[in-house]
Amino acid sequence: MPITDAQFKLGVGGVAIVLAGVIASGRFCGSVAIPPKPTMPVFATGTESALIAQVAAAPAVYKDYLAKDAAEAGVPVPSIEDMGRELAYHFDDKRRILEVGDRPITVVGLTLAVSRNDDALTLAIVNTTNATVAYHVATEPIPTTKCNSAQSLPFNAVMLTRGAKISRVECSWRAGMSLAITRVELVEVPPLSAWYISQVPPPLLGIEPRIARGHRAERAAICSAIPSHALESGLKSGEIVWRDLVDFYARYRCQTYQFPLTYRAVGKTSP
């Protein structure tokens, strides 16, 4: 809808105030949509909200966030070019059935073993790669009844450092139970990306509630754990997958930037 010169000037004035607040505090209130890579987006101008979004996504502002966040995390400051590079991704979607007592298996650098822990069926996961990774191990307990009644064990459902080992509860134990491993995937992440992802609640990465309920991270998640209906719909339809979400949050701080529904992982050629 057309706006008057007075409205436009008022909008520009509002942006100046917002930008001053950003420089002073280093944080924004709310989220902004951004493009698939850390570059200047194209926004329609003419309204205050659009102008504010343009300022928030500007390369200079993004670069300032990288410097401040790296200082807080105690890691080297990456360049915008570094943050735009493709991340090493590995996956295996072969279905495997593991039972209690079976020998551990290793899939794309993660060693998996099933065991019984009192009244629970548990899965042990060890990162045998030489990198810190964001990881996703999709499973299906067989049978699947009463899987949320067992008390969960605390573990990191999002990140594994090199050599890290976790145990997670899959389901309440029943005689003859087994566990289907349906998909294993991981993304190798550099230091600041690992720090960014560690702050993201599992639901925002598409991790199912049965698994996410036991999540504990060294740094508490500081972003909303409630995914939008549009994101849930995209995950359900398969248009958005775990890799897309991890790739985005490896590059952008979740407390400022909101996942754009059209975002796809850099270098991705297939779902």
**What DSSP assignment string belongs to 83-131?**
HTSPPPEEEE---EEEETTPPPEEETTEEEEEEEETTEEEEEEEE-SSS
φ/ψ bin of 118: left (φ > 0), alpha (ψ from -120 to 50), beta (otherwise):
left
For 215-240, what is each residue's pLDDT tens digit?
Answer: 887 765 567 778 889 999 999 999 99
Predicted pLDDT at 214: 87
Predicted pLDDT at 52: 47
For 151-190, what is each residue's pLDDT tens digit?
Answer: 888 999 999 999 999 999 999 998 899 999 999 999 999 9
Q: For the chain, what percent of residues have pLDDT higher than 90?
A: 56
Higher pLDDT, 150 or 141: 141
pLDDT band at residue 48 under the 50/70/90 scheme: very low
Report residue 189 as tokens: 């992440």
Predicted pLDDT at 264: 92
Average pLDDT, the chain: 82
- Does the structure show a pLDDT above 70 at 54? no
- Does the structure show a pLDDT above 50 at 24? no
Predicted pLDDT at 151: 83
How many other C-beta atoms are found inside a 10 Å radius of the C-beta of residue 5? 7
Phi then psi dihedrals of residue 266, to 5 deg: -60, 125
Predicted pLDDT at 8: 41
The radius of gyration computed from the CA coordinates of the chain, to the nearest angstrom, equals 21
Q: Where are the alpha helices (DSSP H) in the chain?
A: 5-25, 48-56, 59-73, 80-83, 191-197, 209-212, 229-237, 242-249
- Does the structure show a pLDDT above 50 at 36? no
Predicted pLDDT at 3: 45
Does the global pTM surpass 0.85? Answer: no
Tell me whether residue 268 is exposed, middle or buried, using C-beta atoms within 10 angstroms of its C-beta: 0 to 12, 13 to 18, 19 or more: middle
φ/ψ bin of 69: left (φ > 0), alpha (ψ from -120 to 50), beta (otherwise):
alpha
Task: Determine the residue type at 62.
Answer: Y
* Alpha-carbon distances, residue 48 vs 3, 4, 32, 43, 152 (angstroms): 11, 12, 13, 12, 47
pLDDT band at residue 269 under the 50/70/90 scheme: confident
Predicted pLDDT at 50: 46
For 78-128, what is each residue's pLDDT tens digit?
Answer: 998 899 999 999 999 999 999 999 999 999 999 999 999 988 999 999 999
Q: Which of 128-142, 170-184, 206-220 is least confident?
A: 206-220
Cα–Cα distance, 80 to 82 (Å, whole number)? 5
Q: Which of 121-125, 130-134, 141-145, 233-237 is least confident?
A: 141-145
